[in-house]
A and B are shown apart, each in its own frame.
Chain A
Amino acid sequence: MGEIVLKDVEKSFGEISVLRDINLTINDGEFVVFVGPSGCGKSTLLRMITGLETVSGGQVVIDGEDITHTKPSSRGLAMVFQSYALFPHISVRDNIGFGLKIAGLPKAEIDAKVAQASGILGLDALLDRKPRELSGGQQQRVAIGRAIVREPAAFLFDEPLSNLDAALRVQMRIELIRLHERLATTMIYVTHDQVEAMTMADRIVVLEGGDIQQFDTPIALYDRPVNKFVAGFIGSPKMNFMEASPGPDGTVQIKGGPALKVPGVDLARITRRMTVGIRPEHICYAHDTGDLTGKILVEEQLGSDAFLYVEVEGIGMVTVRAVGERDFHSHQTVHLSLPPETCHVFDESDLRINEN
């Protein structure tokens, strides 16, 4: 079991408040990712769940039990650190079995569990080595092994893949997803990498400036971001933003562009200054006609996609994702149009005001 509830959790270091009004319910067995830019408080939040960081206000509840002031050793959680934090003076076998030994399990049982975990993670041949004799990826596996043998209420990961090279990171990401399916234990995963967040999470917590911006499924964050920050943070390349103002007949007038009749805009919430957002793959492009005219500054051709960076006069740089496109190149003129049903409208306090 591993339902984790945070109630009005706060954290401040002296005068400086780093987290405010954090309310979260993480269901048993769920894979939740905390994502946000550096300094948003995501690691601090994770460390408060582990007990390594004290809680300034509010409650941390695991399976109905208030553990706000319980010491880390008694919380029954397991953590994988960015630096792996293996014990360098003992073998891989002893590293994996460390927590079980502390818990006083009989040796035969520890050996059986270590053997099982090392089998899952492919560490059988390395059990008698010291951590420093392993590669980064292997050390990472040992750290995961040390976490899974204890059958914790929840696994906590603090940017576990950021020290690995790109290829290994993709591989470990898939392994972690499969591990979660196999164990069905609650996992909380902190990262600043939105690709990791999107691919691994059941639900994502987007944090910024010490506040939860949105807590929802990856697709909901992508399709229905609650505000401009989430819209810009999730998705790569970033969503395009254009300044806008109220237009005639409930339309939204893009500055230097067309007036769009975006469906579902809450007319009562229209403000004097607004922002229209559209994702790069939703922009239509053509050689001959469109709402906007611009010049391709850079063409990034990946084969599967071409990213066109288009300079539009009066608007600025617009990114277009052209799937499988071969026919548009740098320095050419291109015409763009913005299908209104794919646009997002944000009011002057950056909240999204169209519903879909």
Chain B
Amino acid sequence: MIIYLLCFVLFGIGLHAVVNKKNLIKIVVGVAIMEYSMNLLLVLIGYRMGGVAPIIDRETVAGEFVRLSVDPLPQAMVLTSIVIGLGVISLMVSVCIRLYEKYGTFDITKIKELRG
């Protein structure tokens, strides 16, 4: 259970960056940290103590494999989530680049002052 809570600590660090930081790139970094923590939490929930990877090889007995393997479903979904995270981060960074071209700064307080 403590390891789940450590994941939430990591999530809190990312949230702190998103809410409190003034630099746009720091905000993107905070979103990335939150994404990492949630991916890790989902994989941890599917982990089996002393299990094996969900890959069948020649030595595997058919009935044994269900009681040995880790959960493959969170792994497949997290794989999707990681790739979508790449798309989200690249979209955010392209918005940041565009804002920098318009305002000449990454500081969100200065961007707010220069509105219009």
User: Is chain B a partner of chain A in the same complex?
Assistant: no
Q: Give the A-binding residues of B (Cβ under 8 A).
A: none
Chain A interface residues toward B at CB < 8 A: none
